[in-house]
Structures are given as C-alpha cells and as structure tokens.
Amino acid sequence: MLPAIDLEDLSLDAGGHLLIDRALAGLAPGDRLVVHGRHPALAVHLAAWCRAEGHRLDPAAEAPTVIRGRADLDRWQGAQRAGRTADDVVAHADRRWGLAARGALVEPGGPVLAVDWVDRDLVWADLAPRLYAQATANQWNPATAVDWAAQVSLPDSVEDAVVQVMTYLVENEQAALMIPARLLSRLHPHFREVMQLLAAQAADEARHVEIFTRRALLHRDTLGLSGAGGRASLQTLLEEPDFTLASFLLSVLGEGSFLDLLHFLHRHAPDRVTADVTRLAARDEARHVAFGVAHTAHVVRTDRAFLHRLRTAVERRHAVLADTAGLNKQVFDALVVLAAGSWTPAAMSHGWQEVLRLQQAMDEGRRRRLEYIGFPADEAAALSALHTRNFM
C-alpha cells in the first residue's frame, strides 16, 4: 500500500504544501505519495506545486499521487556546514558562506562575501566571548548613569582645564570609535564573537564621545583647542590596514595609556560629574585593552615572527610622528592644574610631579603589556619609549 496523506479541507496555498513536504521528506526519489483532500482546487494546485518543486503527478493513478522528484535534494548537493556546530570556530572561514550563521548547512551558489580577514588566528582571542558577555552586561545609559544635575561650581580656570581635557578626550574617542567600526566591516561574520565585541567597543566609544562632550559643555558654550600634532597621531591609527597591528597600536599601546589617563582624571576630578564620566569610560576601556592584549598575544603564540611586524609598526609610527609636537601644551597644563588643586607654588609643583608620575605609569603599563605579549624586557622598554607623546 502506498503512503498517503489527507489534507481534509486544507488547500495547498494555505499550508497544505507543508504537510506534503513533510510526508515526502521520508521518501526516496521515484516513490509515490497519495494525496487526499476535499478542497475543490486540490488537483489544480497540486499539479502547479509539483511542477514548481520538481515532482511529478502519476497520470495513471485514480487519486492524486505525487511521484517524488530529486530537485530539492540536488539543490543541496555539495553543501557544507559553516562549522560543525554553532560553537565550532573553524581555522579558515569560507567567503562562499556569505552571511550564513555559524553551524548552518550552506547552499552552494550564493554570493561571495567581500571581506579581508577569514583566518581565525588573525582575528581571534579566546577571551572574546567572555569580554562580549561582560560588555553586554555592563552597558549604561549616558543620560542616567551620570548625575548631570549635580552641583558643579568651579573657578573659571579649573573649569577651563576640564573643558580642555574633555576636548582632548573627545577627539581620541572619535578615533577609537572609527577603528573598530572599520575593522568589523572587513571581518568574516563566522568569527561573530569578535565582531560583536568590536561593535560593542564602537558603541562604548560613541557613549564616551557623548559624555565627554556633555561634560565640556556643562558650563561653557564652546570646546577647547585641538592640536595638529594630536590629530596627526590619531590619524596614523586610522590608516593602519592590518587587523592585529591596528588593534595592537590602538588598544595595547594607545588605549592602555589612555586608561591610565582616565584613572588619573578620576583621582583628580574637581567635581562629581567629571569623576563619574571618567570612571564609566575607564570601565569600558579596560575591556578594550584586555581584548587587544589577548588577541595580540594569541597571534604571537601562533607565529613568533609576528613580533617583528609589531616592532616595525611602532617604529614606523614613531618615524611618521617624529616632527609633530605630540601632546599639546594646553592639555598638559590642564592636567597639571587639575592635579594641583590650587594655584599656590607648592600645589603647582605637586601637580607637575603628578603628571610626570602619570607619564611614568603609562610607560610602565606599556612595558608590562609588551612583555606579556612576548617582547623581552629591554625591547619592551625601547618600544614603550617610542610611543607617541600624544598618549594615544
């Protein structure tokens, strides 16, 4: 007896085709399926559906009978999975997978994805999934996470110093926003945790731009000064085409030093709002640095010779920026004013020494991260000394 299905009053164009598909799925090409039903257009609809799906109707059968075709099977011939499971991150992602979800069976013939980075070891860090989970758990709203109504009444000179520093922070964070946004657009989505982390990083930086701008304009109508040397330093980061080198220069060196700066500003904040915005930004930046360090260390573990490329990138950037002024005088002086806390000679001396200690802490932090990645201590010290005077 042939297998059969009864659609009752259901028409094919109202879901009946799904029941037929399900029944045919267990049959081999050439097998027959009898289709019963009371819908008046059943025969007409069934004939059209069979033509569209690559099946045939048996003309000699008394009841409508579908002869199973193989067009649906042939469609998936040569299909491959984009990883064995959704958790299987392969060593090399195929551009022909396009935007297929990881672990999906990919039909051949789709468009080829125009991305640059398809090798896991060029973009991966085992820490990425955990950092992304932290990023999503620690999102905050700029409108509510900071008490913008808190009383802020500072002497004009101190407020001017805050505005100048915030202006400097904004331009640094704008560069830090553009870089992950550019990187993730060139990354194969098979490495989705890295892509998600970069997207979260861009969102972090967008919030930082907002809160630093908002703090700068809390009691002023305009922002401070933007030095050409500082912009030139940031521009070199935007122009780095390699994933790892961009991540290394931005996060391991630049944002690592930037994180020290945020801690400094939080410690010497003259008001609650400044303390809040620098604290929130520092929490995010710590994740960015963690990924940059973990990724660069991963690359070096897989290819020790990559240390040469990292060294060359630092030296090349130093050479490009050798004739620039670096950190503009206004920013440096503003940091001294904030650390001093008052205008007495003793306070100014203390503020000056605090900024020098900040620069020393930045250098020590860079050296630690460079040594963790794999550089010998003497090379780490030499490369840290070549880092841009603009901090980022």
Paired residues of 34 in beta bridges: 4, 65
215 three-state secondary structure: helix
Q: Compute CA distances 354 → 219, 335, 374, whole Å.
A: 26, 9, 30
pLDDT band at 74 (very low <50, low <70, confident <90, very high): confident
CATH code of residue 28: 3.30.110.40
242 three-state secondary structure: coil
- Which of 36, 39, 38 is closest to 13 using CA atoms? 39
pLDDT, one tens digit per residue, over 209-267 is: 999 999 999 999 999 999 988 999 999 999 999 999 999 999 999 999 999 999 999 99
Mean pLDDT over 155-180 rounds to 97
Contact (Cβ atoms closer than 8 angstroms) between residue 33 and residue 5: yes
Q: Are residues 176 and 229 in the same domain?
A: yes
Contact (Cβ atoms closer than 8 angstroms) between residue 71 and residue 41: no
Q: Are residues 130 and 238 in the same domain?
A: yes
Is 391 part of a structural domain of the chain?
no
Is 371 part of a structural domain of the chain?
yes
pLDDT at 60: 86
pLDDT at 297: 98
What percentage of the chain has pLDDT greater than the value 90? 90
Q: Are residues 149 and 220 in the same domain?
A: yes
C-alpha atoms less than 13 angstroms from C-alpha of 183 in its C-beta half-sphere: 33
Q: Are residues 89 and 69 in the same domain?
A: no
- Which of 284, 127, 117 is closest to 211 using CA atoms? 284
11 membership: H or E segment, kind and range: none
Mean pLDDT over 308-316 rounds to 97
d(C-alpha 156, C-alpha 288), whole Å: 34
The alpha-helical segments, DSSP class H, found in 138-271 are: 142-145, 156-184, 192-216, 228-238, 243-247, 256-267
Q: Are residues 163 and 48 in the same domain?
A: no
**What angle, 0 to 180 degrees and rounded to 10, lies between the N-to-C axes of helices 128-137 and 192-216?**
40
pLDDT at 151: 83
Q: Are residues 196 and 339 in the same domain?
A: yes
Q: Are residues 290 and 310 in the same domain?
A: yes
Is 284 part of a structural domain of the chain?
yes
Is 392 part of a structural domain of the chain?
no
Indicate if the pLDDT at residue 199 is higher than 90: yes
Q: Are residues 106 and 37 in the same domain?
A: no
50 membership: H or E segment, kind and range: helix 42-53
The alpha-helical segments, DSSP class H, found in the chain are: 16-25, 42-53, 71-75, 128-137, 142-145, 156-184, 192-216, 228-238, 243-247, 256-267, 272-302, 306-321, 329-340, 345-373, 377-386
Contact (Cβ atoms closer than 8 angstroms) between residue 208 and residue 364: no
Domain count, the chain: 3
Is 357 part of a structural domain of the chain?
yes
**What angle, 0 to 180 degrees and rounded to 10, lies between the N-to-C axes of helices 345-373 and 272-302?**
20
pLDDT at 131: 96
Paired residues of 168 in beta bridges: none
Q: Are residues 140 and 235 in the same domain?
A: yes
pLDDT band at 76 (very low <50, low <70, confident <90, very high): confident
pLDDT, one tens digit per residue, over 268-298 is: 999 999 999 999 999 999 999 999 999 999 9
> Domain range spanning residue 20?
4-73
Is 282 part of a structural domain of the chain?
yes
Structure tokens at 383: 């490369």
**What angle, 0 to 180 degrees and rounded to 10, lies between the N-to-C axes of helices 256-267 and 345-373?**
150
Contact (Cβ atoms closer than 8 angstroms) between residue 338 and residue 351: yes
Cα-only R_g, the chain: 31
pLDDT, one tens digit per residue, over 317-345 is: 999 988 887 788 999 999 999 999 999 99
pLDDT, one tens digit per residue, over 82-141 is: 999 999 999 999 999 999 999 999 999 899 999 999 999 999 999 999 999 999 999 999
Q: Are residues 225 and 370 in the same domain?
A: yes
d(C-alpha 244, C-alpha 122), whole Å: 7
Is 236 part of a structural domain of the chain?
yes
Please give the single-letter amino acid code of residue 193: E
Paired residues of 80 in beta bridges: 106
Contact (Cβ atoms closer than 8 angstroms) between residue 340 and residue 348: yes
Q: Compute CA distances 99 → 41, 108, 110, 115, 220, whole Å.
A: 39, 13, 10, 11, 47
What percentage of the chain has pLDDT greater than the value 70? 100
Q: Compute CA distances 50 → 17, 44, 186, whole Å.
A: 10, 10, 42
Indicate if the pLDDT at residue 181 is higher than 90: yes
Q: Are residues 60 and 137 in the same domain?
A: no
Count the Cβ atoms, other than its own, within 10 Å of residue 208: 26
Contact (Cβ atoms closer than 8 angstroms) between residue 49 and residue 37: no
Report pTM.
0.88
Contact (Cβ atoms closer than 8 angstroms) between residue 62 and residue 35: no
d(C-alpha 68, C-alpha 56), whole Å: 7
pLDDT at 22: 95
CATH code of residue 170: 1.10.620.20
Q: Are residues 196 and 327 in the same domain?
A: yes
Residue that the structure tokens 């920026």 belong to: 321
Is 238 part of a structural domain of the chain?
yes
